[in-house]
Chains A and B, each alone.
Chain A
Amino acid sequence: MGRTLAEKVWDDHVVRHADGEPDLLFIDLHLLHEVTSPQAFDGLRKSGRQVRRLDLTIATEDHNTPTLDIDKPIADPVSRAQLETLRKNCADFGVRLHPLGDVEQGVVHVVGPQLGLTQPGTTVVCGDSHTSTHGAFGALAFGIGTSQVEHVLATQTLPMARPRTMAITVDGELPDGVTAKDLILAIIAKIGTGGGQGYVLEYRGSAIEKLSMEARMTICNMSIEAGARAGMIAPDETTFEYIEGRPHAPQGEDWDAAVAYWKTLRSDEDAVFDAEVVIDADSLSPFVTWGTNPGQGAPLSAQVPDPASYEDASERYAAEKALEYMGLTAGQPLRDIKVDTVFVGSCTNGRIEDLRAAAAIVEGRKVADGVRMLVVPGSARVGLQAVDEGLDTVFKQAGAEWRHAGCSMCLGMNPDQLAPGERSASTSNRNFEGRQGKGGRTHLVSPQVAAATAVLGHLASPADLSDADARTPAGV
């Protein structure tokens, strides 16, 4: 019987298999950041252990880092202490670190791919649930807890139970103005926040094959919001082209050997998935969330749902609680929802393509009165590229704030937070209660919807913009 992509990558990393035990998997790449690693390094110290494979380990600073005044000491002493702890740990153990201010610093899931470290057929882990992002390259990539971080540091392996596989087949073509973000939000709304539990999802089909690497990363990134262990997309020419020439891409004969291997990383025709979901790309439209988990979403053209319409008691109660928290009423058109803040950034939508898309919409327009728009590149490199392309100027002329790289308002561990009751349209991945700041209310959206929303002041898609919104001449 044929094997799925996930099974092939899994099989190629089994160090030890014994019946009745989890497989011991080899880890090709371990990404570290300041939040989930301190207790792991402490554990190594207590046991007198070293980092087994420094050549497969890399660290950066992202969750706590400020996006303003990065040349000054970090104001929050607790954040500063956590970053200093990472710096000390990396120095003590010899781990490569890209700290704040370094040109390779950024959100860990943006940094790995841009360095060319994320490659097809590798196993990638990080103490961060959005590690699923790297699956866009046909890597098996999953988030782990701090105990597992310590385990990988010490052994470069992880004992893991073999996951089940689910095919998510998306055929057809995404209509104009419909993005990878809309697609993944629609998938999560369909299968639910627990729908992927225990599975590795493989996104496939003609609509997926047409997507850029950035778009594929957006999709795989949010696999965790459907509860999945990981999300994957089979590597193809788009993948190879993205990797070629990057600092850690294989070279010469290694490149040829790598590509030959990568081309084998497709689910076999006769492979059997444990579950399958089919989505018609042509039927999709811009999608936004209205509730407090990423599965509580609907097309932008729809209304806030009535909790009474849910048959399942627990879903009904969850919807009631969500509307109460979000300050929304059933039946209210989603387009009428006014926002205070627009956040463009994060490991979901903080790559160059996302910034270009948002910039193209705000160019020659103004952010609505009373709305704050924050644009935070996913990495310092993305920021530099955006500056090269003049995108920072476009954003600033529109009245948006152009910031330095980091996780920023996705989770508000740094000063970029919502105030209580404040409402955002955010290109990030989680609309949990208080995620972006205590009492903050989050609507998850694509970069395009974020930009249109910033201009109009209420949830909107680019199609809602008219020439009248272009209050200043385009093109500078």
Chain B
Amino acid sequence: MAVTEWIPSGRETRLRMDGDGLIKRGFMLVIALYLIVTLALPLYTMLSKSFVTYSFDLSEFELQVSDASGANFGPAVSLVDLNTRSGRFTPQDMKTNSDGRMAVAELLPDFSFRSPVRYRMRAVDDRGTWLVGLDRVSSRDWLEYDSNTLRRITLRPVPSYGIQNYVSYFSNPALFQSIWNSLFIAVVSTALTVPFAFGFAYALHRSCMPFKGAMKLIATMPILVPSLLPGIALIYLFGNQGLLKDLLMGQSIYGPLGIVIGSVFFTFPHALIIISTALAIADQRHYEAAESLRASRWRTFWTVTVPGARYGLISAMFVTFTLVVTDFGLPKVIGGQFSVLAIDIYKQVIGQQNFEMGAVVSVVLLVPAILAFFVDRQVQKKQVSLLSARAVPFEPKPNRRFDALCLAWCGLIAAFILTMMGVCQLAAVVKFWPYDMSLTLGNFAFNKMDGGGWTAYWNSIWLSALTAVAGTAIVFCGAYMVEKTDGFRLGRSLFQFLAMLPMAIPGMVLGLAYIFFFNNPDNPLHGLYGTMAILVISTVTHFYTVGHLTALTALKQIDAEFEPVAASMRQPFYRLFARVTVPICLPSILDIMIYLFVNAMTTVSAMVFLYSTHTALASIAVLNMDDAGDIAPAAAMGMMIFYTNVAARLLHALVSRRLLASTQAWRTR
């Protein structure tokens, strides 16, 4: 009955805002503002840049040339006519990027900077500006220059707006090929990783195989290293001097093969965690029902297990796909001539300084990332509803043959992961692989190499610690305000959208967007550019979503009546927050911290555009040392990141246990 019922006209009653409401809204506004400034505005700037093309507009300027005496000036000539006369520049030459400059003297075939000839220049309207050296000049009146000064006069390109950049992108076969390359490696890697991870998760949850704990630990190791590291390991194994090069039978590891193997390595734990969660919620009763109906093991697998885990599988597929398609480190190290979208952004920006084209590639890269993100969100929503409070957890029964099979499967994958890690470890401590395998610590003398040295390592620690502390505070407070504020519905859903957005934005894209936004001298936040602060900000923003979701999950489990109770006792919300909410959520808060720390240690993508000479980072050092051919030190630095993350994890476990013991006594009956 969708009949609108009658209720007396009049104004809807609104509660007066109390201090709590004001503070909460204020807080939410501040954090929303943070997300707008560090996410929405940079992305918008980047998007608009991708529609800008720059070209020289000669028609805006006129020149008068004097005779040899320097006193008698000839007629005013448009620069267009001068160019037509001299034939110096073709229409193609008029296209440039924002940093392009054109010397006016080039238009004059018989120009000599020593001649006594004098020149007068003016703009025909207010838009025309030119540079004398570095000084900007704009004048509609004639300005007179001697020939030595004219030599230093350059024109700046004028922007125009349109899809020209996209047209040239898609008509460039080399760039266009990258799309297919990216999709190809992402699809192949996903097709390999997800079945591997499913088998692994299945063995962990559905068998009674031994060594489950060790297997889990090994499987999550790849999370603790940058995605560059498997690339380095593969170079040592299959590269030109690789130990097992012959196994490839002439194939080169540099290219799609290397990228796919490395991608399987670094995406494996991500897929495993998602599928594990899906399998963990299985209901014993479904299996009992299947057994009572005398369904075979095989049939049960296809009719109970797989449908039960389907959302997990789909989600794992999209996450893996996105990780591979947006990854930059691995193709950089082992991609060879095989170009992918992330590499193209880097090449356009760092190599060719063509920021506008970099923006175009970024937008292209955003498309699959955003698509995958939305599909994944839909699937995740459905997953939640599968959870029923009354489910009986599944308990596997021992079965020697099946358990042995599971152990073999997991053992193979664990061996693969350990081999890759082992190779890097070995490469880090031997003198000259594979010719002189004697042990040395020489590769850790980072100060002797390019890439930032030990300072880069300490910078990384500093960055990760700051990100963990500041990020957790921002993320948790933001999630609290969204979850525990009543009313203000529009503001809350807007905030929720902003908080989910970072997950869809690849790091490279975020980094480039930051260049556009923060490196603009007109931006009041310009001062952040090149500092540690911008690295912290970009890392917090880049990894915001997972922390936000973790915090939301924890907060949703808290009784929604706590806030009303505290309000009825006339206690401010922050007292409840400090004394009840935070202590209850402490385990989740620590999880967000370690997540941010580990990711800040390993991330490369956004950082590669944003680090400066004082703020070089360990992960960037791996990249740069590898680029410079110092592969062993790169492996050594990669292992330093690994050791640090292991130490951080151990510390996290220790602190969690301690805190749980002292503050969470209430959890035990």
Q: Please determine whether chains A and B interact with each other in the same assembly.
A: no
